Homo-oligomer: A and B are copies of this chain.
């Protein structure tokens, strides 16, 4: 148990909101973490033997599910997309709010949904997309894209997209309208289930994040 805990955080937007919460839970990254020119991938914490790794959101879930990191922060979109049995998400951090939605071209219309038994959808979330349409009895063929989903309908790659939506401005700029919400998204504290059962530091970490959330809940 002398091995330091590894805590995985996602690059990008969620991180700015996560850092104050992490600090209240006792995770304060060393100064080098904020050096944008640095090529380092792993960082020490002040006053703690935990290590931080900063990776892409989907990879946060992969590292934690395999126990290579014992805990981390990631959006509920990623938790639900992978549905790793070894991943436990005990705390809703109430940050990084957005939604995973279906969108299609305004007016003109993708293929009609009524009576359709098959359609093509561009998304970074093949599993959530397939499950969403299956619930409506529709078999969705998902074209996996890593970004720029909004281009797909106009270029004929797919009639619809499933993507994260925040303000809706990107959809509007690309002539798309939201037609359904699949998932309300917020960031979660995630832990590796096996490590949580065997390493008492993880129970303490979960409690520290719950306590870090308290002032916000009381407000």
Contacts and interface: CB of A to CB of B under 8 A. Distances in A.
Contacts of A144: 62
B39 A147 contact: no
Contacts of A152: 68
B39 A145 contact: no
A6 B155 contact: yes
A198 interface: no
Interface in A2-52: 6, 39, 41-42
A6 B157 CA distance: 12
A173 B40 CA distance: 9
A147 B56 contact: yes
Interface string A177-212: 000000000000000000000000000000000000
B151 A66 contact: no
A120 to B, nearest CB: 9
Given A148-B59, A155-B6, A143 B53 contact: no
Size category of the binding interface on chain A: 20 to 34
B173 A59 contact: no
Interface string A66-103: 11110000000000000000000000000000000000
A63 interface: yes
A150 interface: yes
Interface string A145-179: 11110111011110000000000001001100000
Contacts of A56: 146-148
A133 interface: no
A68 B157 CA distance: 5
Nearest to A51: B155
A147 B55 contact: yes
A6 B63 CA distance: 37
A173 B39 contact: yes
Contacts of A155: 6, 53, 63, 68-69
| Pairs of residues from A and B, 4 with the lowest C-beta to C-beta distance, nearest first | A68-B157, A68-B155, A56-B146, A55-B148
9 contacts: A41-B148, A41-B151, A42-B154, A54-B148, A55-B148, A56-B148, A58-B146, A62-B145, A66-B157
